[in-house]
Chain A
Amino acid sequence: MGKRVGLEVTVAVAEAVALCRIDMAGVYPITPQSHIAEHLSTLVADGKLDAEFVTVESEHSAMSAVIGSSGAGARSYTATSSQGLMLMHELLPIASAMRLPITMAIANRAVSGPLNILNDHSDIMPQRDAGWIVVFAENGQEAIDLSIQAFKIAEHKDVMLPVSVNIDGFQLTHMVEPVEMPTQEEVDQFLPPFVPHATLHPARPVTMGAFAMSDYFTEIMKAKDEAVKNSKKVILEVWDEWEKMFDRSYKPVETYQADDADVLLLTMGSMGETAQLAIDELRAKGVKAGLVKLRLWRPFPFAEIKAVVKNAKKLIVTDRAVSFGGPGGPVFSEIKSALYAETQRPTIYNYIYGLGGRDVTVHDFVGMFEKIIADTGNVAADTYVFWGVRE
């Protein structure tokens, strides 16, 4: 078992990625991701990581370069944030269609405009339908663990899909946390070498990224959809294996005090820990409050969500992104459609909060609960409300 050390989360993530013995990293600087790039390049410069560190001239080229490198059969990594992720957007569905097991850290940050460098989820949400596996970390330890697991999931022969590990910008990336870093021996034992299905090498020439019109396109989309859905089985296996080895549990949907809760709150990412304190406070007052934490965003865990919310009367879904003029925040829309056909389901409320780094405290979560518990029809269910907005 590794030592418990205090590390900034970005540095810890870079250390974890180095333990995975990547062959290539192509990263472009952007706040709040940059420390990952900086630390990886330091590890390469010091001879601690034998990899090519490609200092690309944009995030578009970062994703292009890791696609090329992964196509060549190299274990390839990148990291980005916000505008950088938006610039990569064009290439994300290409990477998944080409079934390239790239892994990427996303230091989640608000998308401009106005320009903002702080945390919300408006960068990852537009990438929802790119065909990537998307997971969220709640704390530094999870950021490390998910980063290592990501390679194993992505490269599994039944998956062969890119994975993004979402780490809330600043609120998580820039925290110095006590973390347990696995040893090199442990990671080597957990993560086998990457054995690609086909590579860009003259030993066996292949064509990658061919052109397909209406006669094949639908079948290729269906195949990708099946691949994303089927990846869940491998994700669960990898998490089980991780738990056996490291005694830390990962589930697509995790809960806190949810079994007997009348009112549930749903969060994704680093807000989970703050919300947990709010649950403790409410429980101390005798309120039957509970928490649902969504870890796996794609493939979406329909069955798990249905199972954990079915006995609650009210469900508050929180979103850190806006779907302007839409049906509610992106997480809310998903949860609502997941529960539509259920005969027994809670009334669902949606709060949009914590945008562009707006601070969210325990008090805010307690406030949401109090408002919804007291609601007798005044707070519109099935639509969305901005929490804490000045009007």
Chain B
Amino acid sequence: MNIVENFDLYAPRLINKKELLSSGHRACSGCAEVLAVRLMCKALGENTVIASATGCMEIVSSMFPTTAWEVPWIHVAFENAAAVASGVEAGLKALRRKGKIDDRYVKVVGMAGDGGTMDIGFQALSGAMERGHDMIFVCFDNEAYMNTGIQRSSGTPMGASTTTAPAGKVSSGQKTWKKNMPEIMVAHNVPYVATACPSYPLDFIRKIEKAKSIKGPSYIHCFSVCPTGWRSPSHTAVSMGRLAVETGVFPLFEVENGHYRLSPDMPKQLKPIKDYFKSQGRFRHLTADEIESIQEKVTSEYRKLTEKARFLKTGNA
């Protein structure tokens, strides 16, 4: 039985009913990112402080004098969510130690988009992870600078057309492979790294809960379908995320203390990437040969990952 297709049966019992990201925010229709943030908040619960980077999620949720946030939330700038989160964590730690605040455990979470994580926020994130703060950092990756108008980032996939790497007569869009951010975080030797997608809500929630239970830094890379930027129908955001996973374009896995594990949601046999590409305007210009060469890369990257999962197994897998 497929859990997601029977989500309505499971959800009421498994998921925190309390909304910590309230309705009335200004996200686009069909935004999978805001769905992911909402699920993340449910998994985190009330004893949470969030430090957000500038970006879609920041502007849609905090238009002064309104706010969608029911948890303590701070936004400072674009490139520093991880540094701000690390400061919040250090401040709360000192205050709790000195008995100046309630003696309760509060999880600090940094969040940013792909630009705020992989490009401009990369240094601050690397520093915060290396210092070992007790915090989670979640990258909501919609594969371009959507808030500023769909410009390419290092998270944009090969071949995607964006406003600064457009497809044209002599260009096929993005010329570079997507930066492998989860592996870079694994290389920081943090206790927990996972990939997730709100199209698999139970898997995503479990991973957030896992990260929350770890005393130390953890990183979750959340694939967030953006119908506006990808030029895909807004009602397909959830199924598009599933296709990204089923084709191996965005595999779901976790790395706990260096041990790899593929999520049980990963299919035995990957679907061809053209199934995923076909209803997205950003890939429409690609030729069959170009899609084939991207297919080869996706297949070989997925093989590498499965080999890691085979040789660097978790004990309880």
Contacts and interface: CB of A to CB of B under 8 A. Distances in A.
Contacts of B72: 199-202, 205-208
A85 to B, nearest CB: 16
A213 B106 CA distance: 32
A68 interface: yes
A207 B67 contact: yes
A228 B61 CA distance: 29
A245 B160 CA distance: 68
A67 B94 CA distance: 15
A31 interface: no
Contact of A67 (B87, B95, B124): B87
A311 interface: no
A64 B58 CA distance: 17
B123 interface: yes
Contacts of A200: 49, 72-74, 88, 92
B88 A68 contact: yes
B49 A61 contact: no
Interface stretch (B125-133, B170-178, B237-245, B253-261): B125-133
For the side of the interface on B, what is the size category?
A: 35 or more
B11 interface: no
Interface string A192-221: 010000011111011111111100100000
B94 A24 contact: yes
A57 B124 contact: yes
B171 to A, nearest CB: 33
Interface stretch (A47-55, A109-117, A140-148, A278-286): A47-55
B124 A74 contact: no
B64 A72 contact: no
B119 to A, nearest CB: 15
A108 interface: no
Interface stretch (B97-105, B195-203, B214-222, B273-281): B97-105
Contacts, number: 175
A243 B73 CA distance: 41
A177 interface: no
Contact of A94 (B67, B70, B77, B126): B77
A76 B95 CA distance: 11
Contacts of A208: 72-75
Interface string A41-77: 0000000001110111110110011111111111010
A54 B124 CA distance: 13
A60 B74 contact: no
Contacts of B126: 57
A92 to B, nearest CB: 11
B86 interface: yes
B127 to A, nearest CB: 3
Contacts of A67: 74, 76, 84, 87
Contact of B48 (A58, A91, A202, A212): A202
Nearest to B75: A209
A90 interface: yes
B63 to A, nearest CB: 5
Interface string B48-60: 1101000000110
B83 A61 contact: yes
A69 B108 CA distance: 12
Contacts of B167: none
Interface in A302-336: none
A317 to B, nearest CB: 35
B69 A74 contact: no
B62 interface: yes
A364 interface: no
Interface string A160-200: 00000000000000000000000000000000010000011
22 contacts: A56-B131, A58-B127, A64-B87, A64-B124, A68-B51, A68-B83, A69-B87, A72-B49, A76-B87, A91-B80, A94-B77, A201-B101, A201-B106, A202-B47, A203-B102, A206-B72, A208-B72, A208-B73, A208-B75, A210-B63, A211-B63, A212-B64
Interface of B: 46-49, 51, 58-59, 62-65, 67, 69-77, 79-80, 83-95, 97-98, 100-102, 104, 106, 123-124, 126-128, 130-131
Given A73-B101, A208-B75, 5 more contacts: A61-B80, A201-B101, A206-B73, A210-B64, A216-B64
Interface of A: 23-24, 26, 50-52, 54-58, 60-61, 64-74, 76, 90-91, 94, 98, 193, 199-203, 205-213, 216
